[in-house]
Amino acid sequence: MKVPILRQGACLIASVQDALSDAELHDLQARLAEKVGETGVGGVVIDVTVLDVIDSFATRTLSTITSTVRVRGAETVVVGIQPEVAFAMVQLGLSLDGVSTALDLDEGLAQLRGRGVADAAW
Amino acid sequence: MPPGEGLGEASIAVNGDADIVAARSRAKEMASAVGFSRTNQTVIATAVSEIARNIVVYAGSGEIVLRAQRCDGRWGLVAVASDEGPGIADVEQALTEGYSTAGSLGVGLSGARRLMDSMEIDSEVGRGTTVTMCKWADRRG
């Protein structure tokens, strides 16, 4: 299933609804890069609260999305990584270097606001 | 009754990336049935995800079998990933952090080994690879 991407003020919010295959992660990456250009938003929030596994491929994709979105002129925050998922990622040897994270959607939007993304709250 | 007794085994055919999702979801269910903590369910599912992806990336297809059984004298969950792919020429090198022949992060095998309590790799060039890994069941009060 495609991850829905909604616009809220100056941000795009991609809210993951279910486990993602590699192809679905790639699709999210492509659509976010495109939408950032179309909409001219300054921030992207990716909500991964429902993901019960974030493996090396997902980590690499989140990192690539962050870099791609940055090159397109916007900032990304990944929100909602569950504690046991965080633990497994660290054990696996993954660190999400260069990727901003926040506890939940509210914190993610607050972080974007703090980084100068206008009217990130609604 | 020991944890996991009577759970039988689950076998997942791995032919593409959707099967990676299926394999980790079954691993999580089975780990939950064996009585692993939520953290260890996630740890096992993550390790299974990595070895399932190795099958897809390197061999194209293969199989993962999950079993609740004794390993090293303790109850645990065993995951066996097997394929008839190209095999691994140098297993030690394949287990080196950051080593990859597929342009990925190179954390798959070494990371999965860190997540689990034991891992054995049996591989022959041109014949295929079998990875057997085990996590001991959580100590219960």
- ipTM confidence: 0.90
Q: Is residue B115 part of a domain?
A: yes
Residue A105 has pLDDT above 80, yes or no: yes
User: What mean pLDDT comes out for the span B34-55?
Assistant: 95
List the domain range (segments joined by +) for residue B52. Answer: 9-136
**Among all residues of chain B, which has the CA nearest to that of A87?**
B39
CATH numeric code, A5-114: 3.30.750.24
Report how far residue B4's alpha carbon sits from residue B133's, in angstroms, rounded to the nearest whole number.
16
Q: Is residue B105 part of a domain?
A: yes
Q: Is residue B46 part of a domain?
A: yes
Is A85 in Cβ contact with B42 (below 8 Å)? Answer: yes
**Among all residues of chain A, which has the CA nearest to that of B19?**
A21
Q: Cα distance from B8 to chain A (closest Cα, Å)?
A: 24
Which of B41, B46, B56 would best serve as a mutation to test chain A binding (most A beta carbons within 10 A)? B46
Domain count for chain B, please give it. 1
Report how far residue B97's alpha carbon sits from residue B107's, in angstroms, rounded to the nearest whole number.
6
Higher pLDDT, B14 or B104: B14
Please, what is the average pLDDT of chain B?
Answer: 88
CATH number of the domain where residue B47 is located: 3.30.565.10
Q: Is residue B4 part of a domain?
A: no
Is B42 in Cβ contact with A88 (below 8 Å)? Answer: yes
DSSP A53-90: ---HHHHHHHHHHHHHHHHTT-EEEEE---HHHHHHHH
pLDDT one-digit tens code per residue, B15-41: 999 999 999 999 999 999 988 999 999
pLDDT one-digit tens code per residue, B92-110: 888 887 777 766 666 788 8
Q: Is residue B3 part of a domain?
A: no
Residue B82 has pLDDT above 70, yes or no: yes
**Among all residues of chain A, which has the CA nearest to that of B97?**
A93
Q: Is residue B57 part of a domain?
A: yes
